[in-house]
Chains A and B, each alone.
Chain A
Amino acid sequence: EVQLVQSGAEVKKPGESLKISCKGSGYSFTTYWIGWVRQMPGKGLEWMGIIYPGDSDTRYSPSFQGQVTISADKSISTAYLQCSSLKASDTAMYYCARRSNSSGAIDCWGQGTLVTVSS
């Protein structure tokens, strides 16, 4: 079974940094793009960026370029989302998601990681 399992909820203070993980299993991790999606409270889905773990080719949405870092460690089938200098407005649910090679659809989602930034 294809699965993406994300790290647990985080509570951070403004100015702190964050790194959340997404471990893939049940498929060849290096041959599928993995993306990150943000959903702020009461708001819509936002595409942040995507990485190909096979060669670490990474693409960022212009809205998130320079704001976050996406990486992957293929030896442990895990992708990461890093954010620094957190603000209250970074409070959101963050999803990792796998993109199908055949259809281009996001065909598998992680369970989401809730990040709360509060002083």
Chain B
Amino acid sequence: SYELTQSPSVSVSPGQTARITCSGDALPKKYAYWYQLKSGQAPALVIHEDSKRPSGIPERFSGSSSGTVATLTISGAQVDDEADYYCYSADRSGNYGVFGGGTKLTVL
């Protein structure tokens, strides 16, 4: 079955840029979405359709996609951005969705 691959963890100091990648064979044809998951909370959408930011999401969150790799960038990461981040997309047929394995972002 289709898989999206993320690195397990990323660590940055406050104010630095964090980049989280997601790779999948269908990403050239399917949008990537990014979700932030904090303990005890439902996931929050931070990027949709590769690079669009929902209202209310800080400008430091941005997304891009090139070939088989989608990237979530947090410019000037803050301690409050510490969370697990999941990419989400669809398989080539569009019949079902897939989450990446998640990336734990540490900001300290």
Which residues from chain A contact B43 at a C-beta distance below 8 Å?
A: 45, 95, 106, 109
Q: Give the complex CA separation of A45 and B97 in angstroms.
A: 11
With A44-B86, A105-B48, A105-B49 given, name 4 new contacts (CB 8 A): A49-B96, A105-B45, A106-B43, A106-B88
What does DSSP make chain A's interface, helix, strand, loop or mixed?
A: strand
Q: What is the number of residues of chain A that contact chain B, defined by CB distance less than 8 Å?
A: 24
Q: Give the complex CA separation of A107 and B35 in angstroms.
A: 10
Q: Are A104 and B49 in contact (CB under 8 A)?
A: yes
Q: Which of B1, B48, B52, B88 contacts A63 (CB 8 A)?
A: B1
What does DSSP make chain B's interface, helix, strand, loop or mixed?
A: strand
Stretch from A21-29, A54-62, A74-82 forming part of the interface with B:
A54-62
Closest beta carbon of chain A to B94's beta carbon, Å: 9
**B interface, CB within 8 angstroms of A:** 1, 31, 33, 35, 37, 42-43, 45, 48-49, 52, 84, 86, 88, 90, 95-102
Q: Give the complex CA separation of A14 and B34 in angstroms.
A: 35
Known A45-B35, A95-B42, A105-B45; judge A59-B102 contact (CB<8 A). Answer: no
Tally of A-B Cβ pairs under 8 angstroms: 61
**A interface, CB within 8 angstroms of B:** 35, 37, 44-47, 49-50, 59-63, 95, 100, 103-107, 109-112
Task: Name 18 interchain pairs, CB-CB below 8 A, sorted by A.
Answer: A37-B99, A44-B84, A44-B86, A44-B101, A45-B86, A45-B88, A45-B102, A47-B96, A47-B97, A47-B98, A50-B97, A95-B43, A103-B49, A103-B52, A104-B31, A105-B88, A106-B33, A106-B88
